[in-house]
Each structure stands twice: as structure tokens, then as C-alpha cells.
């Protein structure tokens, strides 16, 4: 059999492989496959595809150079061979949707079924004159070779009725035209309801939040929203957030609303007060995307309210404070994340934000806040990465203060939420400092500086999955880090810095076959005043 220039042909060769003659050449779009010579050498049986009839068995007479159809239906017949005396052809066909070994009597044309399997039977073969039939069978544990002894080869052992059409190789005719009614305007509401949910939790020394998160979008993905609600069983209060994105124009309008709780400690590191922080952000992003990097301009209006919901005995309650901010920001990001990388790498991310509490009246805070967030993530060797981050926050007059402490991203949120306005550059006043609890008095101020250095390295690439439970483990990697930072109110530099260090072990996993989760177990120790030993579990990357 020879193929060239889009046509199939049968070539007769001598014992040295030299061409004797061309027996047959196909028309365009006719395909020939799986030939077998008859025992007397006068005919060839093959499976042929013809555009008007699909895959069928045909017999080629070497004297007349003509094909004769043995089957003519919409099922797929293939893997044809002659039996020992040439009186019948054995083949595999998908009558009824399952491939089984069949026998076609060349004299009568009757077809008998020789196997009755659920997975599939293919490639029949007869062992010499023994009459034993071998075939390749497919079952739940894969492909294996099976044998049927001679007595089962009698005609009509398991008679097959008229072939029931299974999958077909015949091109379908053009679909008829369907009359359409009058067009209507697009409505997103039919497809707007959420269709999934996932548990949410945030556990630490000061909180134990448990809840759920969900999201939804319309068919054209113009409207996207994210909703999270949780209850803190340790403190008996609710928290939650709502985010909305409208994606139709070259710029992205976004809205964010959230309610969380901040803890404040006194000079002896005891709880002084807990204040509910309610935040509302109306934001518009102007992304300028390129292949190698991303530049984004941000504009936003922020309304922030915080009030006491719990105070320690003997501590005077503080009235509600409001902050109405107007902000602009600019970010540049050239980092990238490869499918098997353990971290972002190979670039830098720079974010500059300016905010003012004096533009809109009604704020209890005054002045401006300027923030520079710089991240450098060079790749070292292999998948190893050295991650460096520097953040400088500078407030004038009397703005809402910065706070350092705690572990970043101790709460879990599915990766899809990474695009939500919850990651807004505005009104960021809380920054992690591993090894120190949230709310320390010495780590609060209108000015802030923090730096992190982290070495991330691969441990083992596992690439194993399990059906029950539906869980996969891709790779494991680790990190060692040093954090340092300070917050103060007056002057250009702080009086003292606070330093912590630790290590993390991370496993990249997949849950339910599609949801990637990064599970991190870490330990941090604070070396200076107010420091502590912290153990934590995190299901997202720090940065």
C-alpha cells in the first residue's frame, strides 16, 4: 500500500522490493487501511473509507482489478483478516456502539458475532491451523491479549441482528436551515446566578473564621461578581466581602465592599480593642498589556469606616472614624509564572500609589499617603528564586495609620479571586511582619517601612494523582525568609526596626481535578520586642 499526493494505491513488488506494477489507485478522499491476502493469493480484503459510505470492508480481485463491497452501512468495520481456508473474513466492528470481533461468511454474506465484551475487541488473528482466535481486548485496566478456542468459531455462535448504527465516519449532510424569530436585546440575568461554592477559612491566634465563597458571571462575561461570607467562632461576629467587575470597555470599572475586624494590643501585648473595619471602593483600571510586561493605571474613591465592637475592661471606647479617600496609582509588572514554576520570577513589580483624605469632606483623618511597593524576583539556578520586597509608606498630617504584623494571606480564597478588586492598591494599611502578632502598639504609625528577603527552592516534583479522593500532588518546595520593618509617626526614619525569620514548606496540589491549591506550612520567630513564635498554615502564596 502506498500513499502520495493525497491518494492511496496498491503496488505489487518483487522479493527485492522493486515495483512490478500498480494494481489500483484511489480517487481523492478514498482511504485504504489494514490489508490481508487470501490464502489462495487471488484476493485482498481491506477496510476502505469512501466519502459517501464511510468505513466498510471490500474485497479486491487481483485478476479483474476490481473492488467488491462486503459491507455497506454507517458503522465502522476494520482490522479484517481471512480465516484459514479463505471462506470467511474476521473483523472488528462497532455494531451497537461497542467494537466486537465478527465473522462474515463470503459465500452467504451472513455476519456472526464471536465476542461479547463491554470495552472493545480489536485486531483478530488466527494461530496457524489451530483454529484458535486471538484478539486485543480493552477493559477497565487497559489493553490485553485474549484467546478464543476453535469450538466458538462455528458460524452464528452468537448471531448478530441487522447491524445497529454506531458512531459513523460518514460526513453528515448540511444541517437544514432553522427559521429564526425576531432578535432580542442581550440580557445577562439568565446566566448570572452562581453555580459553585467553596469553603472559606481563616485560622490564627486571634481569629477562627469559617464560611463559604462563590462567584458568578453572565455568558459574555461582562458582569462578574465574587461573594464571601464567614463567621468568626472565636469572637462571635461576621465578616465578608463583595466584589463586582464590569468588563466591556478598554477600562475596567470595579466595586468592592468588605467588613473585617482589626485587633489592637496595648504596650503589654494584651488585647486593648477590636474595631470593625468597613470598606467601600469604587475603582477604574486602565490596563496597558503587552507580551512581556503589564502597565496599569488606577483611579479610585474609597470610603472607610472603623468602630469599636469590643474593648478591654477599663479601656475607654473610641468613637467611629471615617476616611474618604481619593487615589491614583500606577503599576508595572514584568514577572512571569511558568506552568511548573514554584514561584513568580524573572522580573520585577513596581506599584506607586498616592491618596488624599482632604479632597472629599467628612473624613476624620487628614493629609496624604504615598506608598511605594517594589518587588524583585530574579531566578537563580533551575527553579530557585530569590524574592525581595521593599515597601515604603509615608503619611502627612494625620492619616489612617499603617499597621505591621501577622502572616500575609492566612485566609483561603480560590485562585479565581485573584482578579477581583479585593486586590485594590488603595487603602492598604496592613502589611505582614512574620514573627509578630497583629495590632502591636509599637508597629503602628503614619509612616512605615518593611523589607522581605526570601529564598525559594524546589524539593521534589511528584506529579501523582488519585481518583479517590480526587486529589493530585504536583510538586513540593520550600523557602527560608527574613522580614524586617518599622512604623513611626515623626521624622524620616524610625527609632528601631523589628526583625523576624523563619521557613516554609509548600505543596502544589489539585483538588477535584481542576482546582489548584498551594498549601504552605510555616514557622516564624520574632527577635525583637513583642516578637513570638508563630506557626501557620496558608493556602495561597505570600508574594
> What does the pLDDT read at residue 428?
92
Work out the average pLDDT over 516-536: 91
Distance CA 59, CA 69 (A): 6
pLDDT of res. 28: 81
What's the CATH code, domain 192-538?
2.40.160.50
Question: Long-range contact list for 373-378, CB < 8 A, 24+ apart?
Answer: 373/349, 374/348, 374/349, 374/350, 375/335, 375/348, 375/349, 375/350, 375/543, 376/348, 377/335, 377/343, 377/344, 377/345, 377/346, 377/347, 377/348, 377/349, 378/345, 378/346
Contact predicate 230/202, CB 8 Å: yes
pLDDT at site 152 = 53
Between CA 145 and CA 182 the distance in angstroms is 59
**Beta bridge pairs of residue 285:** 252, 298
The pLDDT tens digits of the residues spanning 405-446 come to: 988 643 333 333 333 444 789 999 999 999 999 889 899 999
Distance CA 425, CA 432 (A): 16
pTM for the full predicted model: 0.63
CA distance between the termini of the chain? 60
Q: How far is it, in rounded angstroms, from Cα 257 to Cα 28?
A: 64
Residues 334-342: what's their mean pLDDT?
83
Q: How far is CA 477 from CA 158, 375, 528, in A?
A: 58, 21, 29
Give pLDDT tens digits for 285-311.
999 988 888 999 999 999 999 999 988
- pLDDT for 171: 57
Examine the pLDDT at 8 and tell me if it is beyond 90. Answer: no
pLDDT bin (cut points 50, 70, 90) of residue 132 is confident
**DSSP conformation letters of 88-109:** EEEEEE-GGGS-EEEEEETTT-
**Nearest-angstrom CA–CA distance, 257 and 243:** 6
Whether the per-residue pLDDT at 352 is higher than 50: the answer is yes
Pick from 74, 93, 73: nearest CA to 135: 93
Q: Which residues pair with 237 in a beta bridge?
A: 232
Chain centroid, CA 484 distance in Å: 34
The structural domains of the chain, with segments of one domain joined by +, span 2-159, 192-538
Residues 443-458 have a mean pLDDT of 95
Look at residue 172 in the predicted model and tell me its pLDDT. 57
* C-alpha cell recorded at residue 465: 494523582
User: What pLDDT shows up at residue 417?
Assistant: 35
Q: What is the mean pLDDT of residues 373-402?
A: 93
Give pLDDT, residue 432.
92
- The span from the CA of 376 to the CA of 345, in Å, is 8
Q: Is there a contact between 463 and 339 (Cβ–Cβ < 8 Å)?
A: no
| pLDDT greater than 50 at residue 19 | yes
Strands (E), 28-187: 31-37, 43-50, 54-61, 66-69, 77-82, 88-93, 100-105, 111-113, 121-126, 133-139, 142-148, 158-159
* CATH class held by domain 2-159: mainly beta
Share of the chain above pLDDT 70, in %: 91
What was the pLDDT predicted at 302?
Answer: 94
Mean pLDDT of 85-96: 89
Long-range pairs for 214-221 at CB < 8 Å and ≥24 separation? 215/416, 215/417, 216/192, 217/191, 217/192, 218/188, 218/189, 218/191, 218/192, 219/188, 219/191, 220/186, 220/188, 221/247
Residue 528 half-sphere exposure, CB side, CA atoms within 13 Å?
A: 15
Which range is least confidently modeled, 92-96, 142-146, 183-187, 395-399? 183-187
pLDDT band at 497 (very low <50, low <70, confident <90, very high): very high
Give how far Cα 426 sits from Cα of 32, 33, 370, 430, 447, Å. 67, 66, 10, 11, 16
> What does the pLDDT read at residue 99?
92
Q: Check residue 390 and give its pLDDT.
A: 97
pLDDT the model gives residue 170: 53
Quickly tell me which residue has 462563590 as its cell. 214
Q: Give the per-residue pLDDT at 513.
A: 78
pLDDT tens track for 36-54: 999 998 999 999 998 888 8
Confidence of residue 456 (pLDDT cuts 50, 70, 90): very high
- pLDDT mean across residues, the chain: 86
pLDDT digits (tens, 9 = 90+) for 201-247: 777 677 788 888 888 999 999 999 999 999 999 889 999 999 999 99
What is the model's pLDDT at position 168?
Answer: 47
Least confident of 119-123, 145-149, 172-176: 172-176
53-66 confidence digits (pLDDT tens): 889 999 999 888 89
Rounded Cα distance between 234 and 237, Å, is 8
Percent of the chain with pLDDT over 90: 47
Amino acid at each position: 500500500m502506498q500513499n502520495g499526493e493525497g491518494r492511496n494505491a496498491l503496488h505489487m513488488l518483487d522479493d527485492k522490493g522493486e515495483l512490478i506494477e500498480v494494481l489500483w489507485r484511489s480517487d481523492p478522499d478514498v482511504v485504504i487501511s489494514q490489508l490481508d491476502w487470501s490464502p489462495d493469493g487471488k484476493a485482498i480484503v481491506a477496510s476502505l473509507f469512501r466519502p459517501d459510505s464511510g468505513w466498510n470492508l471490500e474485497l479486491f480481485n487481483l485478476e479483474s482489478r476490481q473492488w467488491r463491497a462486503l459491507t455497506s452501512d454507517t458503522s465502522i468495520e476494520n482490522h479484517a483478516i481471512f480465516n484459514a481456508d479463505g471462506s470467511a473474513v474476521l473483523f472488528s466492528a462497532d455494531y451497537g456502539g461497542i467494537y466486537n470481533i465478527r465473522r462474515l461468511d463470503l459465500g452467504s454474506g451472513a455476519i456472526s458475532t464471536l465476542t461479547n465484551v463491554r470495552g472493545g475487541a480489536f485486531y483478530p488473528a488466527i494461530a496457524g491451523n489451530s483454529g484458535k482466535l486471538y484478539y486485543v481486548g480493552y477493559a477497565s485496566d487497559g489493553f490485553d491479549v485474549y484467546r478464543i478456542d476453535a469450538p466458538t468459531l462455528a458460524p452464528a455462535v452468537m448471531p448478530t441482528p441487522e447491524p445497529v448504527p454506531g458512531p459513523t465516519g460518514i460526513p453528515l449532510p448540511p444541517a437544514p436551515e432553522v427559521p429564526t424569530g425576531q432578535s432580542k436585546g442581550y440580557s445577562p440575568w439568565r446566566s448570572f446566578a452562581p453555580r459553585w461554592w467553596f469553603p472559606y477559612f481563616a485560622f490564627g491566634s486571634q481569629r477562627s473564621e469559617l464560611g463559604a465563597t462563590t462567584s458568578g458571571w453572565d455568558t459574555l462575561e461582562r458582569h462578574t461578581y465574587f461573594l464571601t461570607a464567614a463567621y468568626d467562632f472565636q469572637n462571635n461576629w461576621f465578616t465578608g466581602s463583595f466584589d463586582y467587575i464590569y468588563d466591556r470597555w478598554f477600562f475596567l470599572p470595579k466595586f468592592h465592599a468588605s467588613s473585617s475586624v482589626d485587633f489592637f494590643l496595648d504596650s503589654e501585648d494584651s488585647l486593648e480593642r477590636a474595631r470593625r473595619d468597613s470598606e467601600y471602593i469604587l475603582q477604574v483600571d486602565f490596563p496597558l498589556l503587552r507580551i512581556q510586561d503589564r502597565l496599569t493605571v488606577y483611579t479610585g474613591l474609597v470610603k472607610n469606616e472603623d468602630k469599636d465592637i469590643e474593648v478591654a475592661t477599663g479601656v475607654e471606647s473610641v468613637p467611629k472614624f471615617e476616611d474618604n479617600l481619593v487615589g491614583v496609582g500606577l503599576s508595572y509588572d514584568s514577572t512571569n509564572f511558568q506552568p511548573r514554576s514554584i514561584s513568580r520570577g524573572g522580573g520585577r513589580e513596581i506599584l506607586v500609589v498616592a491618596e488624599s483624605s482632604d479632597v472629599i469632606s467628612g473624613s476624620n483623618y487628614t493629609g496624604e499617603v504615598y506608598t511605594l511597593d517594589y518587588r524583585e524576583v530574579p531566578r537563580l539556578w533551575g527553579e530557585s528564586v530569590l524574592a525581595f520586597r521593599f515597601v515604603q509608606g509615608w503619611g502627612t498630617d494625620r492619616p489612617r495609620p499603617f499597621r505591621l504584623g501577622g502572616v500575609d494571606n492566612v485566609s483561603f480564597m480560590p485562585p479565581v479571586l485573584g482578579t477581583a478588586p479585593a486586590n485594590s492598591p488603595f487603602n492598604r494599611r496592613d502589611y505582614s511582619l512574620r514573627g509578630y502578632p497583629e495590632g502591636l502598639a509599637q508597629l503602628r504609625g503614619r509612616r512605615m517601612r518593611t523589607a522581605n528577603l526570601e529564598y525559594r527552592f524546589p524539593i521534589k516534583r511528584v506529579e501523582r494523582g488519585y481518583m479517590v479522593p480526587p486529589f493530585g500532588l504536583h510538586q513540593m518546595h520550600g523557602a527560608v525568609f527574613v522580614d524586617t520593618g518599622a512604623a513611626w509617626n515623626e521624622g524620616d526614619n524610625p527609632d528601631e526596626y523589628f526583625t523576624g525569620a523563619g521557613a516554609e514548606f509548600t505543596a502544589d496540589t489539585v483538588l477535584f481535578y481542576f482546582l489548584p491549591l498551594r498549601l504552605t506550612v510555616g514557622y516564624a520567630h520574632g527577635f525583637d520586642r513583642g516578637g513570638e513564635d508563630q506557626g501557620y498554615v496558608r493556602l495561597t502564596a505570600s508574594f
